[in-house]
Amino acid sequence: MEITRGNTETMLSRRTVLAGSAAAAVAATVGATSPAEASSSGLDRAALQAALDRIGATGATAALARVDSPSGSWRGASGVAELGRPAKPPVGGQFRVGSITKTFVATVILQLAAEKRLRLDDTLQRWLPGAIPNGARITIRQLLQHTSGVFDYTEVLFATLDDVLRARYRTFRPEELVALAAARPPVFEPGTSWSYSNTNYVLLGLIIQKITKHAYARAVGNRILRPLRLHGTEVPGTDATIDGPHAHGYEPIEQDGEIVPLDFTDLNPSMAYAAGEIVSTTADLNRFYRALLGGRLLRPAQLTEMLGNPAGEIGYGLGIFQQPLPGGPTLWGHTGGIFGYLTYSFSTADAKTQLTVSINPWIGDFGPALTDLALLAFGVTASTARTLAPVVPFPMPGVRFPAS
């Protein structure tokens, strides 16, 4: 985020480089400094840590990562927990996961479908009458898959720099967020195209509340967090702080002609609600995706629905998307971006191997280092990757700072 009134064009171009490095993290071809080939007897922990250190050195104030696989587990930390202090970030620390929240919400919706408390082809109008003007033509499935055409409220809420500052500590009701989108025309007719919209998942959170008679956070807690013992994961509501040990998140601002960091760790997560408010850890996210893809959270029919018929340019299922690796498996998971934090969490389809990376981005290009880390985690050697087409980039949808 660039909170400045001066030289905005220059700052935004620098921030665009940062955003691009995140979005293209796995799209870059393997760089000159390539990872050591994975040992057949287990994970190459030294190479994984070296790749993580390069993320910190080339474009982040802090980075955390964890790999869980049949070859063992590894976790690492790099950078500093807080600028101006020497302490490293806590290796098991918490962070804001942003849009990875959507996979949790989609899981609850599909559980309710299995219980016949809703149908994926139910209309939005049935559950939330009048919430969106054309709600009678929008289905729950379309909300889950971003084929609803509903306008993304964040484009209004964070339209200007002043808007972001006003919103940072404000408490929003989800109905307020929906109203911002309802006041704008649809992006397209429902079911005719694909466009990522955070409003879809705000609406799904409200549908969960309507059906269960409780806030969606309780459903996530009862149905996912407690059964899986995800003790480091929280649905914070209006709590602006991260309660556990954590690295600080920063955004670049201009002061007196220089770029300086603004600590953006604290914010009121009601601005994201069911589209992106969750706080978690690398261990918890790996465990979540392992349980989800391993069939512990959804019945076979619902898991098939979640992964089947992916849509759009990123291959989006229902709250989850696919990510191919060159010379390796096609992964499933999600990315998340919210002010000060970027998160990548993916698993093999057979639920055997997971990688989660949390990055507190700064100006730079950590893309090649993140590429190396992902290839190492999923057992793809640099030499193999070089002979194949580049990976489709990990998309980074989420709450973004305004471009002007």
Enzyme catalytic residues: 99
Helix (H, G, I), strand (E, B) or coil at 72: strand
**CB 119, CB 140: distance < 8 Å:** yes
CA dihedral 147, 152, 153, 155 (to 10 degrees): 180
What does each C-alpha distance from 55 to 207, 260, 324, 399 come to in angstroms? 39, 20, 21, 22
Nearest residue to 62 via CA among 30, 40, 94: 94
Tokens of 30: 């393997």
What is the enclosing helix (H) or strand (E) of 290?
Answer: helix 282-293
Q: For residue 242, which of 250, 233, 254, 251 has the smallest C-alpha distance?
A: 233
Q: Are 69 and 243 in contact (CB under 8 A)?
A: no
CB 99 within 8 A of CB 336: yes
334 phi and psi angles, rounded to 5 deg:
-160, 160
Q: What is the CA radius of gyration of the chain?
A: 20
- Residues in a beta bridge with 347: 332, 354
What CA–CA distance (Å, rounded) separates 213 from 22?
Answer: 38
